[in-house]
A and B are shown apart, each in its own frame.
Chain A
Amino acid sequence: MNINFTLISQAIAFAIFIWFTVKYVWPPLLRAIEERQKTIADGLAAGERGRHELELANQRSSDVLKDAKQRATEIILQAEKRATEIVEDAKKIAKEEGDRIIVGAKADIEHEVYSAKEALRKHVAELAVAGAAKILRREVDIRAHADMLSSLEKDLRK
């Protein structure tokens, strides 16, 4: 345990080592570490921002979805209303058409009835003339009694 010049030499070596570390070892590593810390911090901030944006996008998409659903409902309602209208219109038109057909048919029927009556009158008149001719046989002349026959026909027409 004797103190000697070794102490001085060790102190010098120590000083040189400290200088070396302060100047060459510490700063580059510290720079690298600090830069990495910054990168990590930036990354974390970016992640946070991304999360926030995702939240916003989710909200927006749900809004859009809600809107779309509402509009779809409206469209369906409108379509149903329109369909009902169309059906009502069709019913109305069909009814009118039917009425018109019925009216036409009635007119036809009346016409037919009229013709049939006409034909019957003619037949009845002829039958009456034939009957009268058979009864009267000789006296009755078609030409002499034309007036009487036509007046009879008139009566029948009434």
Chain B
Amino acid sequence: MASNTELTPTSYIDHHLTNLTFQIKEGGFWVLHVDTLVTSVILGVISLGFMWLIVRKATPGVPSKRQAFVELAVEFIDNEVKNTFHGDRNAFVAPTALTIFIWVLMMNAMDILPIDIMAWIYEHVFGLHNWRTVPTTDVNTTFALALSVWFLMIFFNVKVKGLGGWLHELFCTPFGKNPLLWILNLLFNFIEYVSKPLSHSLRLFGNIYAGEIIFLLLGMWAATGISGTIFGTLLGAGWAIFHILIVTLQAFIFMMLTVVYISMAHESH
């Protein structure tokens, strides 16, 4: 790559996994990953804006091909939500699921872009030395989504059951109402509430991050010689094709878990 330092495997991987940062204030927390934020926002605006442009002119008659495509996505999501969530899904849950699916899918799909070509473009077209293409390989993104869902979950718990009802549930489920079991119930619920956002976010992050690392390793193999180039290319192509599945599947899983968590918040035990 076009850095001045000597090119070693470590520096190659480091280069690809370093964020473009912006220091807002003093302190370790006040760092902004500009690449993550800009890429994800652009993707969100493009995908949702695309849907909005089509939906704005949606006709109940014979739909255009683009409208049919959007309807396909929307009805797919709507069906999944309908099977899980029993309530007025159109008010919030289904559109949220759609947002998550489309957005995460787009962010994951950035993984399929060839890393080194993209790095060259960022470097020479935009003059950006460090730029991570895939927002979901940034743990901040996945945690932001998972924690937002987590807060939504608590919000709906309180909204549907009332604060008392929710606290009652925290203390009296899943084992029973006996006061002796309160501590145990609370502990159990605590673990559940901690593990939910962790597993939710880390599953997405881990899958996409690992995919990215494999692309990097294949790219490094390609640098070792002709046979390495051939096998690296072939395996890279194969991995990219397989990655189409992972990208979609992870977006779908993330969406489904969101719907399930919010549905669970609506139902009392």
- Whether a CB of chain B sits under 8 angstroms from the CB of A148 is no
* Docked complex: A1-42 residues within 8 A CB-CB of B: 1-11, 13-15, 17-18, 20-22, 24-33, 35-36, 39
Q: How many angstroms between the C-alpha atoms of A155 and B37 in the bound complex?
A: 168
**Is A9 within 8 A of B145, CB to CB?**
no
Give bound CA distance, A18 to B148, whole Å.
11
Say whether A10 contacts B140, CB under 8 Å.
yes
Residue from A4, A14, A30, A33 within 8 A of B31 (CB atoms): A4
Q: What bracket does the count of chain B residues touching chain A fall in? A: 35 or more
Q: Is the interface of A mostly helix, strand, loop or mixed?
A: helix
Q: A4-B28, A22-B95, A36-B61 are in contact. Are A29 and B41 (CB under 8 A)?
A: no
Dominant SS among interface residues on chain B: helix
Task: Verify if B181 is at the interface (C-beta below 8 Å from A).
Answer: no
0/1 interface trace, chain B 131-163, chain A, CB 8 Å (1 if under): 000010011110111011000000000000000
A contact residues around B198 at 8 Å (CB): none
Total contacts A-B at CB 8 Å? 123
Contact A28 B138 (CB under 8 A): no
Asked whether A28 and B58 contact (CB < 8 A) given A10-B40, A18-B96, A20-B52, the answer is yes
User: Is B216 positioned at the interface, with any CB of A under 8 Å from its CB?
Assistant: no
Q: Is the pair A13, B40 in contact by a Cβ cutoff of 8 Å? A: yes
Given A32-B58, A39-B60, check contact A13 B70 (CB 8 Å): no
A137–B46 Cα distance when bound, in Å, is 170
A3–B90 touching, CB < 8 Å: no
Complex Cα distance, B30 from A55, in Å, reads 77
B24 on the A face (CB < 8 A): yes
Q: Which residues of A contact B (CB under 8 A)?
A: 1-11, 13-15, 17-18, 20-22, 24-33, 35-36, 39
The 5 closest A-B pairs by CB, nearest first: A10-B144, A35-B60, A6-B140, A26-B95, A32-B58
